[in-house]
Amino acid sequence: MSKRVLTTESGAPVADNQNSATAGVGGPLLLQDQHLLEKLARFNRERIPERVVHARGSGAYGHFEVTDDVTDFTCADFLGTAGARTEVFVRFSTVADSLGGADAVRDPRGFAVKFYTAEGNYDLVGNNTPVFFVQDPVKFPDFIHSQKRDPFTGRQEPDNVWDFWAHSPEATHQVTWLMGDRGIPASYRHMNGYGSHTYQWTNAAGEAFFVKYHFKTNQGVRSLSSEQARELAGRDTASHQTDLLQAIERGVHPSWTLYVQIMPAAEAADYRFNPFDVTKVWPHRDHPLRRVGRLVLDRNPDDVFAEVEQAAFSPNNFVPGIGPSPDKMLQGRLFAYADAQRHRLGVNHTLLAVNAPRATSARNYGRDGLMAPGGRGRAAKNYEPNSYDGPVETGRPLSAPLAVHGHTGTHEAPLHTKDDHFFQAGELYRLMSRDERSRLVANIADGLAQVSRDDVVEKNLAHFHAADPSYGDRVAEAVRALRED
């Protein structure tokens, strides 16, 4: 059986793939060696810009199956019938470190789900934490800069990390969560996922509801201590990738049960705290969890670069029956995520196989740009409206309209009767067992004791004191003990 011929990218056969063309035996290389130049030029461009956040990730395919009727709350087609299945792609990730970082680190985890629905792709882009560090997207770049490697030292600096948190009291809840026992998941399979933000559901009658998503792992929550994580990261930097890949390959398919909390839209204005503040959770006693369905991952990607690295998620990819809320951080992400992918992958990134719709097709007037495919133009018109049977608008909004009022300008988030930066952090601390509190205090003190400025330390201690006096006292004592050693 004859072997297939190796060719250049233009299809020309390659005569010699072992030796470059030279000016005589042992002479300098020739610029005319098209195969060499093409090969080196392509190699130089094999890596695209890595994500600024969520750079290191793993992914898998699977399905989402509806188990419970939620049609009273949303007209989303893929949620309309019990037993209905929708293909999904899920990407997990660490947040702060680069593509070359380790999986087993103390860091939030991205939990992004792409539903390939019959009405288009729906991207639910969340984390493994129900809250976040900041309330306003204008603070997000500064927050990430404080967590990234310092431009001078080239490493993550405790001075930067804790200085930002010292000036951001709203971060206290998430800091308490991150430094606690769930701050380092044992694997991607053993952590919950959350939409984190508040979203809007709209039913067939046009009634609006606000919702929060909770993916509860069916494998049980398992986490690592700081000591276990250091040992695992040193042994296998890709520990979470390894675990996910091998589990699916041997037929152990991880799954999560999706629940939602639902708030009628009319309740939002008078709720005791701002329900659109991503630094806070909705107490379950106010809005109990309602089961929706089951997420199962059962197929690994064939090509990590093509399907995981090039996977592009954007919170503004909604489908009829689902839309945004006034959550300020969510509003910022509606622009920022899609724009980041246009930078990384080009304006045609939605045509890549992992990002393209599967249960329907994209029909619009987009043309040209980097990596534009052939066959989209021909005699078809690239404007709308037209008289040539091109795709037309439906006149049907994806979600219910939101009322707005007041004056334009830069405003702080609206205050509700019990809005507070510290109360829920204190509640979380008081829910912990004695041993959990001890580990939390030790984890915080380990970083805070490395901060060089006393005023930054004191600002952070004031936040923990405001959450719970004993919380602040214990952290202060632990920091003092470490500094005296």
Q: Position 139: which residue type?
A: K
Do 291 and 67 form a contact (C-beta atoms < 8 A)?
A: yes
Task: Give the phi and the psi of residue 465 in degrees, each rounded to 5.
Answer: -60, -40
Distance between CA atoms of residues 356 and 310, nearest Å: 12
Q: Per the structure block, which two tokens stand in for 49? A: 């810009």
Do 272 and 416 form a contact (C-beta atoms < 8 A)?
A: yes
Scanning 236-327, the segments in alpha helix (DSSP H) are 239-249, 304
CB 461: neighbour CB atoms within 10 A? 19
Q: Per the structure block, which two tokens stand in for 362? A: 């994209």
Q: Per the structure block, which two tokens stand in for 161? A: 């990390």
Distance between CA atoms of residues 186 and 92, nearest Å: 13
- Specify the DSSP class assigned to residue 309: I
Q: Considering the candidates 35, 63, 121, 127, report the single residue annotated as catalytic.
A: 127
Distance between CA atoms of residues 244 and 234, nearest Å: 18
The reply to whether 127 belongs to the active site is: yes
The reply to whether 463 belongs to the active site is: no
Q: Considering the candidates 54, 173, 214, 349, report the single residue annotated as catalytic.
A: 54
Those residues whose C-beta lies under 8 Å from the C-beta of residue 95, and which sit 6 or more positions away, are 53, 54, 107, 108, 109, 110, 127, 147
Catalytic (active-site) positions = 54, 127
